[in-house]
Chain A
Amino acid sequence: MAKINKSKMITQYEFCNKIHTGLITPQYLTKLINKGIVEKDSQARIDILDSTLNIIYSSKNMMAKKAEFLNNLVDKAGINQALINKILAELDTEDLEDNGDSDNDLIVKIQKAKLALLEAQGRIREINYKLKTGELVTVEDVTRSAEDLAQNIRGALIQLPQLLAFSLEHKSSQEIAEVLTAEFEKITNLIQKNRFFTRK
């Protein structure tokens, strides 16, 4: 399953010297901050992913180094490779040439892009809220929980023959069924103790 790697806030020093060593100098980063291309928070930290993308997008020169920037995000900042691949694909296919749109067309397109951004931001807020309230769960959590449960059940089942052989010796089928029912109940109870088990 693809793991979500949200971006994180780091200092300008870390950004230049630990993540994008050799690509961005502290002086150049300061210039980009002053131009408003890179934003700082109240603690003077910057968002790794947003800042990197804003820098890539800030000039043709930086755009040419996009692969190096994005590789640094994966290798040094631990950002999800799948997300970076998608961003690279988007950047590569982006058509920025004059396509004959009038000024009015462009204004409408700008409004549409703003609206799309707002919608996406709203949906992200909604998903994060639902994750907090438990209405949504991550696929990673579900997978881990299912694997743990399967492993526990399997372990319990494998032990069963050794555990029961002597207590079932020379017993009638009725008596055996009773013992097995009680033992299997303990095993299936593992499912009911699972955090996702909720009968409505």
Chain B
Amino acid sequence: MSLIEKQLRATLKDWNYKAKIKRLEMTELEQSTLEFDTVAQSVVFSDELIGEMVKSFIVSVSNDLAHLEAAQISDILQDRINYMLERINQQREVRNEID
């Protein structure tokens, strides 16, 4: 191997290394950031989804609670809210699996 070739190989090795490290840094940054607009859309979507869930929750629970005692109201509301939270958790787990 000629001297010039040795020097070229050393230079190439150096630049390849520098480029690789920068690309790794770039990939790290890309993977750990998100577009604000994408996040905002997702939050707005969640707000609308939860809004709909709450509406149907109110409709269904209001009839069941009509003219009841406080203790019964508390128990029913507790059950329904627990059920709703469980469903949200299940949906989140499914979404996590998909992700």
Contact = CB atoms under 8 A, between A and B. Distances in A.
B93 interface: no
Interface residues of A, number: 72
B36 A134 contact: yes
Given A103-B4, A188-B51, A169 B73 contact: yes
Interface in A116-148: 116-117, 120-121, 123-124, 127-128, 130-131, 134-140, 142
Contact of B33 (A94, A131, A191): A131
B44 A198 contact: yes
A165 B61 CA distance: 13
B78 interface: yes
A1 interface: yes
Nearest to A7: B25
Contact of A173 (B21, B29, B62, B84): B62
B84 to A, nearest CB: 7
B77 A161 contact: yes
B15 A113 contact: yes
Contact of A180 (B19, B20, B61, B70): B61
Contacts of B17: 53, 57, 94
Contacts of A114: 15, 19
A125 to B, nearest CB: 10
A117 B32 CA distance: 20
Chain B interface extent, by class: 35 or more
Contact of A196 (B13, B31, B40): B40
A66 to B, nearest CB: 12
Interface stretch (A16-24, A67-75, A152-160): A152-160
B28 A165 contact: no
Contacts of A32: none
Interface of B: 1, 4-5, 8-9, 11-37, 39-40, 42-44, 46-47, 50-51, 54, 57-59, 61-63, 65-71, 73-75, 77-78, 81, 84-85
27 contacts: A2-B28, A57-B17, A80-B28, A87-B21, A90-B24, A94-B17, A98-B9, A106-B12, A116-B19, A117-B22, A120-B26, A127-B26, A137-B34, A142-B34, A157-B81, A160-B77, A160-B81, A161-B73, A161-B75, A170-B67, A170-B68, A174-B62, A180-B62, A184-B58, A188-B51, A191-B46, A196-B36
